[in-house]
Structure 1
Amino acid sequence: MKNTIRSVLIFLFDLLAVVVAWLGGFLIRFNFEWPEGYEQQWLLGLGVLLVTQAVACRWAGLYRGMWVFASLPDLKRVLKAVGISVAALVALVALDRGNPLIPRSLILVYPILLLVLMGGGRAAWRMWKEHHLYGGLIAQGKPVVVVGAGSGGLMLVRALERSPDWRVVALVDDDRSKWGLELCGHPVAGGVEDIANVLADHRAKHVILAMPSAASDVLRRATDLAVRAGAHVFTVPGLEDLMNGRVAINSMRPVAIEDLLGRAPVRIDSAHVQAMLAAKTVMVTGAGGSIGSELCRQLARFAPQRLVLFEASEFALYTIEQWFSLHRPEIEIVCLAGDVKDSARLAEVFTAWRPHAVFHAAAYKHVPLMEVRNAWQAVRNNVLGTLRVAEHAQRYGAERFVLISTDKAVNPTNVMGATKRLAEMACEALHSRGGSTQIEMVRFGNVLGSTGSVIPKFQEQIARGGPVTVTHPDINRYFMSIPEAAQLVLQAAAMGQGGEVFVLDMGEPVKIADLARNMIRLSGYTEDDIRIEFTGLRPGEKLYEELLADSEVTRETPHPKLRIARSRPVATGFLAELNAWLAQAGPVSDDEVRRGLLRWVPEYVPMSGRPALRVVEPGDRSVVRVGGAA
């Protein structure tokens, strides 16, 4: 009912605009004196133009737009309607045989007046409405400087003007041609390097980044300059949405370390993945872990028949079960507690649910913990567990088995990395035996925010007031987000033909010391407030991680972020000997485990066989590079 009344009122306004424009055209033509003898022509023309306008406005869709958001599309509709009116007027003037004739000057004057009335009326209504709704907010809110005066900045500024929480005082942009100009009435006060001065001039303590196409180094520079000036730095989640006009100011959040690592959004062949997973039973081991749980969330997007969640940790299993209950109740999930080394439990699970695809994410992954007093457990969980799950996938006719591996399997210097390489070899050997199951491996580096990773550790240390502990000034690591890793695992699984070791493009390595510094600054502190301590490399820890072994080569795939590694072939009889070694009752000492791993994984060089380490004192940068430098 409201919309009907609104449309009728707008329709009447447009008809009134015709009357005023037609009358105004006559008055302008005759110097604002009513001409004698023109009453008949005026009434005839008015009748024709009113009918034409009614039809033209309906055809042009003028009553679909909302006046409070009047914009260019609405102006185009007005132009269409006015154009039809002009055509009708030209025809009327051409056919007029009366005495006196309709003045031909009206062909020019009438459409100008009509356009001003119809377009100006809509613009005036929007201005009044916005002032009525948001005018009182202009002097309110926290003063903020926006970085970026492009399309993203324009969309952000427009949205901020309607928020009571923010007040834009200036913008900065590295494009010198924009300096001194204004965007929505706000000055572009200089470049990114001028942030500190602009903040001081306007007494602002907040900066919002609106640079959807900027490189990560530009974002880091802007963030660093703003933080050094004592400002709090924010961004809008999904800056791509700014370009499309979809901005949620209530989702404004502080810049996170993930925003500064320069990881481009991942795009996968969703149709290919959908074909692999739709209406299938999919099993995930380690389903409650960082990678496993994200895999489950990503898998749910592709309409599987059910998800079988296999997890040793009761709490982790409960957590992922609760997530699905809350966020994806339509997905059938089967939550199963169990150990990947338990053949009887695996047989029970595979018999009952017959999964079409198995993603094996269960693993011990913490390098120092597995290096000392836990080496044999690392072997049993990472190698024996992988072997048992892969064997059951083959035995029960699964279409695919995917092992989640790690860059630490390349030229390993630690037990964890060597066990993951041995697990890869076991999978390669199983695949070479033949069968209907395609066995694939996906190898990637550290994921941001995973359980036990460096970022949550730094966050806890910063929250406690420091110090932030880094093992070595030069240590670096590859990083990607958990969703990115999970999506690429699914893409690799869909592309694989069996037997491949997929290597993910991890981008550029990140120095952990720089990561710590950025996190300290993003938390609103300086290194004077929270210091960084260098503690020395831990057992089994490398300075540099590698994604490919020296003996390997890679080939491209259709996806730009995936390559296939071709590793050395596994020896004949490997599986029989490996099974015999894994069948030991134990306990097996750490040294015995290392000797066994040296036998199976020739590229494994334990840290004990490398140059001796010494503890690095804070500020000491005279450390010799050791431990698998590339």
Structure 2
Amino acid sequence: MKKKIEHWKVVTLLLIIYDFLAIIMSYFLALWIRFDCEFSEIDLPYFRTYCRTILVYALFCVVVLGTLRLYKSIWRFASYTELLRIICATVFTGVIYCIAVNIFTMRMPVSYYFFGVLMQFILTLGIRFSYRFVLLLRGQKNPDKRQKRVMIIGAGKAGQMILRDIKNSKEVNKKVCCFIDDNHNKWGRYIDNVPVFGGRDSIMEAVKKFGIEKIYVTIPSAKPEDKRDILRICNETSCELLNLPGMYQLYTGEVLVSKMKPVQTEDLLGRDPIRTDMSEVFEYIKDKVVLVTGVGSIGSELARQIAAHNPKRLVLFDIYENNAYDIQQELKKKYPNLKLNTIIGSVRDSRKIFQVFEEFRPDIVYHAAAHKHVPLMEDSPCESIKNNAIGTYKTAYAAMVHGCKRFVLISTDKAVNPTNIMGASKRLCEMIIQAFDAKIKEGKANEIPQLYTHGMNEVLTKPQVIESLKTTKTEFVAVRFGNVLGSNGSVIPLFKKQIEAGGPVTVTHPDIIRYFMTIPEAVSLVLLAGTYANGGEIFVLDMGEPVKIDTLARNLIRLSGYTPDVDIKLEYTGLRKGEKLFEEKLMAEEGLKKTKNDLIHIGCPIPFDIEIFLKDLNSLLEAAYKNKDDIRERVQKVVTTYHPA
């Protein structure tokens, strides 16, 4: 079977032959020009010297070009590096030729060498860069409808690298039409024949003038507020938005179109990102046994941040094995020396949760296990009480019995004046935490009943358990925040799926508003609560202004390169069961106290009769396990701020 010769090798051979002939032609033309472009006027001794030396010189030039790897370059991507090599090769060979001819043959006219070197440079360079020139002309001849018209925001180093990558790309379906940069010294000037049109105030005008369809934001070093302002302006266009994630790509030289990422919705939030000093948090976590219950979006991020800061042991506990397996494998790979235990079980199972605390004796518990989907819980209200309220009660009780130092409950703004059973169940969780803390501070932890113990009387009556209840110092706190962007159950993934399917995007009500935060922000708050805690607090994040879900949906549609109500329709489906138009961060009567962080506050506990609450909770639990139809009415008697929608 004959071996096929690779295409590039054929091209290389033809290029060698071309160079050889081009060099011969260059010095013939130089001699011809020297004698007024009249062949008959050329002195015979000069012509004979040319004939005797030119073949050896041409061969020498080919060898030098090969040594400089100019026969292995990919000329589609030729740059100043190849240009510099050709200049060096031409000057070097020309000087050697001049010296050799004068020493070994006869002296030739100076103009012969000058024009010879010049013609050699033009002919050898021209053939190499002509391929790029042809591609450029072909790109210009392509109708604009085949090209995505691109605007680059940021006429700095990153923007120039993106421009070059687009021009060098094999694809010819993108055309950079203009730059936008706030540096007015660049306005009206050109970068590789692309104009710098103006600053951020000119974005809308430039989009209309150039028919922009795609915007690349390449300002990794910009201040967050400047970047967010620019993104908001861009979002008012119907262009697809892509963003260079950060400075890392600039440092590593990976500023490529392929590295551009879609602009995230959190980039458009109406506030600065929450930035907290986590040093004291991680100093507190270091060398402690930490238990995280529920490893969904919040729990798994908690696990990642805790694992990175040297806990003595990290224990993950979840009923859903897929979540547990995913985060287990991720942490094992990233932190091979981490002492990690992943346990499958339910917080509703008293025996199981006691077994976990007995075996690992955690110092800190982050309790994230809960049912969170409002509409699903409206259809299964008893499950919300069993899992959220009673699951929290049992986990908190086990923590108290086994000498846990801190217990941090993950709560929600839906617990404030709840209109759905999920929010009411989370308010019950907060009340449980406050009740436990109050009893411990009174030295009456042994009076807290253990509900539905699954036949655990023999465990709870052990002398060591009774003694631990007398001396327990567990500090219980709750952390309350709004909706988390990208978390399980968030509207963002749903909207994205609907957009990918071509719409419609469904919004329950045009006026519905929510507070939003990112997963890292939520986790930072939860971790900080573990260090600020004195017991009984409800920590609240200042999340800035709330966001209209309708605006969020329209922003997402624009970020995807579509026009709302034109390319992608919006439909209003009406409020779901238990849903309200707005969420509140605090009940009016709770008030606020400051912490060391200006964006984190403490809600003063609302007093309630703890003895009556614990009795009511017991009867509420019995009703939930019997799946009573009147569970909402029963919950309303315990959580007086709960008003079912």
Instruction: Tell me if 1:279 matches 2:287.
Output: yes
Gap change, CA 1:143 and 1:244, over 3 Å in 2: same
Q: Which one of the candidate residues 433, 441, 448 is aligned to 2:439?
A: 433
Secondary structure, counterpart of 1:264 in structure 2: coil
Gap change, CA 1:472 and 1:541, over 3 Å in 2: same
Q: CA deviation at 1:217?
A: 6.1
Aligned match of 1:77? none
Q: CA deviation at 1:206?
A: 3.0
Q: CA deviation at 1:410?
A: 0.6
Q: Which one of the candidate residues 225, 232, 235 is aligned to 2:243?
A: 235
Aligned match of 2:557? 520
- CA deviations on 1:570-589 (whole Å, 9 max, x unpaired) are 31414531442244165555
Aligned match of 2:180? 172
Q: CA deviation at 1:251?
A: 2.6
Aligned match of 1:340? 347
Q: Which one of the candidate residues 308, 321, 325 is aligned to 2:332?
A: 325
Aligned match of 1:403? 409
> Structure 1: 5+ residue runs without aligned partners?
1-67, 70-131, 608-630
Gap change, CA 1:602 and 1:467, over 3 Å in 2: same
Q: CA deviation at 1:203?
A: 6.8
Aligned match of 2:363? 356
Alignment of 1:177-188 (within 5 A): 179-181=187-189, 187-188=195-196
Instruction: Tell me if 1:293 matches 2:317.
Output: no
Q: Which amino acid aligns with 1:357?
A: I
Gap change, CA 1:549 and 1:492, over 3 Å in 2: same
**CA distance, structure 2, for counterparts of residue 518 and residue 263 of structure 1:** 16
Gap change, CA 1:400 and 1:327, over 3 Å in 2: same
Q: Which amino acid aligns with 1:498?
A: G
Instruction: Tell me if 1:155 matches 2:166.
Output: no
Q: Which amino acid aligns with 1:598?
A: Q
Q: CA deviation at 1:269?
A: 2.3
Q: CA deviation at 1:590?
A: 6.3
Contact 1:160 1:167 in 2 (8 A): no
**CA distance, structure 2, for counterparts of residue 322 and residue 241 of structure 1:** 26
Q: Which one of the candidate residues 484, 498, 502 is aligned to 2:521?
A: 484
Instruction: Tell me if 1:457 matches 2:457.
Output: no
Q: Which one of the candidate residues 219, 233, 247 is aligned to 2:230?
A: 219
**CA distance, structure 1, for counterparts of residue 534 and residue 625 of structure 2:** 39
Q: CA deviation at 1:225?
A: 4.3
Contact 2:153 2:159 in 1 (8 A): no
Contact 2:218 2:244 in 1 (8 A): yes
Q: Which one of the candidate residues 355, 366, 372 is aligned to 1:365?
A: 372
Secondary structure, counterpart of 1:340 in structure 2: coil
Gap change, CA 1:525 and 1:416, over 3 Å in 2: same
Gap change, CA 1:348 and 1:380, over 3 Å in 2: same
Aligned match of 2:510? 473
> Structure 2: 5+ residue runs without aligned partners?
1-79, 82-127, 140-146, 441-471
**CA distance, structure 2, for counterparts of residue 200 and residue 339 of structure 1:** 58
Secondary structure, counterpart of 2:502 in structure 1: coil
- CA deviations on 1:73-125 (whole Å, 9 max, x unpaired) are xxxxxxxxxxxxxxxxxxxxxxxxxxxxxxxxxxxxxxxxxxxxxxxxxxxxx
Contact 1:476 1:543 in 2 (8 A): yes
Q: CA deviation at 1:399?
A: 1.2
Q: Which amino acid aligns with 1:552?
A: E
Aligned match of 1:419? 425
Aligned match of 2:385? 379
Q: Which amino acid aligns with 2:179?
A: L
**CA distance, structure 1, for counterparts of residue 510 and residue 261 of structure 2:** 30
Contact 1:263 1:480 in 2 (8 A): no
Q: CA deviation at 1:330?
A: 3.0
**CA distance, structure 1, for counterparts of residue 606 and residue 213 of structure 2:** 57
Q: CA deviation at 1:142?
A: 7.7
Aligned match of 1:545? 583
**CA distance, structure 2, for counterparts of residue 578 and residue 247 of structure 1:** 61
Aligned match of 1:260? 268
**CA distance, structure 2, for counterparts of residue 246 and residue 264 of structure 1:** 28
**CA distance, structure 2, for counterparts of residue 459 and residue 559 of structure 1:** 34
Instruction: Tell me if 1:394 matches 2:400.
Output: yes
**CA distance, structure 1, for counterparts of residue 509 and residue 413 of structure 2:** 19
**CA distance, structure 1, for counterparts of residue 301 and residue 520 of structure 2:** 6
Q: CA deviation at 1:560?
A: 2.3
Gap change, CA 1:146 and 1:542, over 3 Å in 2: same
Contact 1:468 1:516 in 2 (8 A): yes
Q: Which one of the candidate residues 605, 608, 632 is aligned to 1:570?
A: 608
Q: CA deviation at 1:604?
A: 1.3
**In terms of mean alpha carbon deviation, does 293-302 or 344-353 score higher?**
293-302
**CA distance, structure 2, for counterparts of residue 583 and residue 195 of structure 1:** 59
Structure-2-length-normalised TM-score: 0.67
**CA distance, structure 2, for counterparts of residue 162 and residue 181 of structure 1:** 17
Q: Which one of the candidate residues 289, 314, 318 is aligned to 1:311?
A: 318
- CA deviations on 1:454-500 (whole Å, 9 max, x unpaired) are 11111111122211111101001111111211112111211222211
Q: Which amino acid aligns with 1:593?
A: I
Aligned match of 2:568? 530
Contact 1:216 1:261 in 2 (8 A): no
**CA distance, structure 2, for counterparts of residue 472 and residue 348 of structure 1:** 46
**CA distance, structure 2, for counterparts of residue 265 and residue 514 of structure 1:** 19
**CA distance, structure 2, for counterparts of residue 263 and residue 334 of structure 1:** 38
**CA distance, structure 2, for counterparts of residue 242 and residue 560 of structure 1:** 33
Alignment of 1:80-119 (within 5 A): none
- CA deviations on 1:490-535 (whole Å, 9 max, x unpaired) are 1121122221100012222111111111111222222212211111
Aligned match of 1:580? 618
Structure-1-length-normalised TM-score: 0.68
Gap change, CA 1:561 and 1:185, over 3 Å in 2: farther
Aligned match of 2:69? none
Q: Which amino acid aligns with 2:520?
A: P
Superposed CA RMSD? 3.0
- CA deviations on 1:230-284 (whole Å, 9 max, x unpaired) are x43211113x668989864353112122222245333322221122111111100
Aligned match of 1:598? 636
**CA distance, structure 2, for counterparts of residue 465 and residue 185 of structure 1:** 37
Contact 2:316 2:324 in 1 (8 A): yes
**CA distance, structure 1, for counterparts of residue 630 and residue 299 of structure 2:** 31
Q: Which has the larger radius of gyration?
A: 2
**CA distance, structure 2, for counterparts of residue 245 and residue 265 of structure 1:** 26
Q: CA deviation at 1:220?
A: 4.3
Contact 1:269 1:491 in 2 (8 A): no
Q: CA deviation at 1:290?
A: 1.3
Secondary structure, counterpart of 1:368 in structure 2: helix
Q: Which amino acid aligns with 1:445?
A: G
- CA deviations on 1:410-461 (whole Å, 9 max, x unpaired) are 1111111111111101101101122321111100000011112211111111
Q: CA deviation at 1:174?
A: 5.6
Q: Which amino acid aligns with 1:412?
A: P
Gap change, CA 1:571 and 1:216, over 3 Å in 2: farther
